[in-house]
Chains A and B, each alone.
Chain A
Amino acid sequence: MTNAHDGAASRARAALVTGGARGIGREVAARLQQAGWRVAIADIALPSADELAEDPRLATMFAVRMDVSDSESVRQAVDSVVAEFHGLDGLVNAAGYNRHEPVAESQDSTWSELFEVHLGGTLRCCRSAFPALRDSQRGVVVNFSSVAGRRGRPNRGPYSAAKAGIEALTRTTAIEWAPHRIRVNAVVPGWINTRLVQANLAAGRSDLSSLLHAIPMARLGEPDEVAKVVAFLMSDESSYMTGQSLVVDGGALINGNW
């Protein structure tokens, strides 16, 4: 007798990484591909020819435009990935961005856009991927939270609230999907040396010396150091983990130096 699991087990595992064109998402996609996954990247702006020339790894992945704040865009993009790979076994929800505003001056649009991208985007991608992940019988999801969801910093109200919500959503989804053999976990990056963090430092929205003072390891993390943890959560090495959030922050959250 054959079932969906037999079909899924006989092909290489396939993963979709949202926000996979740049930053940490790109490193996650590359790391998963290195680990033997067939990888699709989804992003609102796919790599240009110049970016492809700069990082040839991107040209080896199926790439699809996706606006995670738009349910139809997510549905169509996920469907195209499932059709391309004849199934889907893994989902990494890494799409996101930030906008800095103090709470007292916050715009409704900032609140709604950040929530739609981070929390709503995670929900939409999980929802659209669920049938394929269930059919896989070895489905796995990794969501992206942030230390900002656990630790207060000024001007990050909507971002912090949305990231905290992602950890709550991760736990709920993990419980609902465990009977379908889908594991759902989250990664909680600290300050990572991405283009966005560099832009914040350059614009004076963050101060490097005070950041380093708060990080016991006294350095920013590298995108690949987060990608390695995501790859672990996506792998069978974490086969008895679900509903968990793994912090990758050089010790910032456990630091008593305040």
Chain B
Amino acid sequence: MPAVNKVLVLRPASRPVPSAAGTPPIAMPGLRRVRTHDVLSAVTRPHAPSAPLPVGGVDELWTDAAPPASLALVRGAYGDEPLVQVSAVREAVVFARPHPDDADLTRRLSLLQRQAGLSRAAFSRYWEQVHAPLTHCHRHVARYVQNHVLDTEGADAASAGAFDGMAEFEVGDVQGMESDYLTPEGLRMRQDVARFAATVSTYWVRTREWRLPA
């Protein structure tokens, strides 16, 4: 079985909700799975400024193709549609709790830009090895996943204003999640963000998923 590679696509606009579940909005050779997130609302987080670039949606694509070929394939699949960023990522699940029904989960995404002076590798290392353990304060989050950017399509995007990572939260209890931020562990986690992230843009999203035969 070929290794499955993941690509993130940041779109400037949301997609309308389809009238019925049908085929995924993207088609390309080697595509195995598609998950689309459309922004419902932005979240203001006092401990971390947002990036000025508006994002209307994020698509997660799992493909048999490895980067950089996967990036060219994905870019081609979107045709002339304007995109904010197309990046190959490495997915790291930090924790996952059993949950009876995924449909009950509310999903939140955070797009991160690294602090000036940090290389992408240093940002990634800190985020995964130092910050991730602090996120265990999230007792009401069913699943927390980090996506670490490996490669980005287009030199412009790679050099200025690009996102370096995306955190995914699948939340079972939104009020409980907010209360977790107020615990000593939650406070410690929030204070740690500024050590590696310059901006954190956070959104509640509506998520749809398609699995495609190999």
A binding-site residues for B, Cβ under 8 Å = 45-50, 53, 59-65, 67, 70, 72-73, 76-77, 79-80, 83-84
Contacts and interface: CB of A to CB of B under 8 A. Distances in A.
A65 B95 contact: yes
A45 B145 CA distance: 11
B94 A65 contact: yes
A46 B133 contact: no
B93 A46 contact: yes
Contacts of A62: 95-98
Given A48-B93, A84-B97, A64 B136 contact: yes
9 contacts: A61-B98, A63-B93, A64-B95, A65-B92, A65-B94, A73-B133, A76-B133, A76-B136, A80-B136
A84 B129 CA distance: 21
B95 A63 contact: yes
Closest 7 CB pairs of A and B: A76-B133, A46-B93, A80-B136, A63-B96, A64-B95, A65-B94, A60-B98
Q: Is the interface of A mostly helix, strand, loop or mixed?
A: helix
B107 interface: no
Contacts of B91: 48
Interface residues of B, number: 20
Nearest to B91: A48
Nearest to A42: B95
B186 to A, nearest CB: 13
Given A70-B129, A73-B129, A76-B134, A65 B93 contact: yes
Contacts of B139: 83-84
Contacts of B33: 49-50
B4 interface: yes
B132 interface: yes
Nearest to B133: A76
Nearest to A43: B93
Contacts of B93: 45-48, 63, 65
Interface in B94-129: 94-98, 129
Interface string B127-148: 0011011101001000000000
Contacts of B32: 50
Given A48-B91, A62-B98, A67 B136 contact: no
A52 to B, nearest CB: 8
A65 B4 CA distance: 20
Nearest to B134: A76
B133 A77 contact: yes
A64 B98 CA distance: 12
B136 A79 contact: yes
B97 A72 contact: no
